[in-house]
Amino acid sequence: MTLDLRDRIRDVPDFPTPGIVFKDLMPLIADPEYYAQTIHDLADWCRPREPDLILGAEARGFIFGGALAYALGAGFIAARKPGKLPRETVEATYALEYGTDSLQVHRDAVSPGARVIVLDDVLATGGTARAKVELVEELGGVVSGVVFVLELTFLGGRDRLTGYDVHSLVQY
């Protein structure tokens, strides 16, 4: 039986700032069946796109991305907050639904021509995903897909990813 992932996604009003309804995926990650199905469904979409690497950002991007990479037999590369990665990095700064942020990736994380799937838990305004796509391309990688567990369609994040192969498992 296919599980409805929405059954393990909780709305948290006014977090982290007033007016934002935060989609909390921790109950989904904590439930073995829902977590397994999420990784399975992500992997089914990613497999034909033949990724060499999955790129995920801390922290939830690590939780989904590591398991997804393992399921696909791909490698995982980390996008991290500034100052966390020990070697030379490239950096992108972007606007969030709430505030701005920056992400860094090791300069040698992507071999030229490597096929990379950009993963995130939530597609909101698309700024984070766009920044990760740009980092992959700056490093000479090919973005073979951009995938999310959850998409907030009313924020129009897909418009920031025009021209890329974009997919989400659950839409609100």
Residues marked active site are found at 60, 97
The Cα 161–Cα 133 span in angstroms is: 9
Q: In the stretch 146-165, what mask flags binding to ligand AMP with x, by CB under 6 A?
A: ------x----x--------
Of the candidates 104, 128, 144, 168, which one interacts with ligand AMP according to CB under 6 A? 128
Query: What backbone torsions phi and psi does residue 144 show, to the nearest 5 degrees?
Result: -90, -5
Question: What does the angle CA 21 – CA 132 – CA 64 come to, to the nearest 5 degrees?
Answer: 60
The Cα 73–Cα 139 span in angstroms is: 22
Which distant-in-sequence residues (6+ apart) come within 8 Å of 19 by Cβ? none
Minimum distance between the CB of residue 22 and ligand AMP, rounded to whole angstroms? 4
Q: Which of 59, 132, 142 is nearest to 93 (CA)?
A: 132
Site residues for ligand AMP, 67-126, by CB under 6 A, read 96-97, 120-126
Does 23 interact with ligand AMP (rule: CB under 6 A)?
Answer: yes
Stretch that binds ligand AMP, among 19-27, 34-42, 48-56, 74-82 (CB under 6 A): 19-27
| Binding stretches for ligand AMP (CB under 6 A) | 20-23, 60, 96-97, 120-129, 152, 157
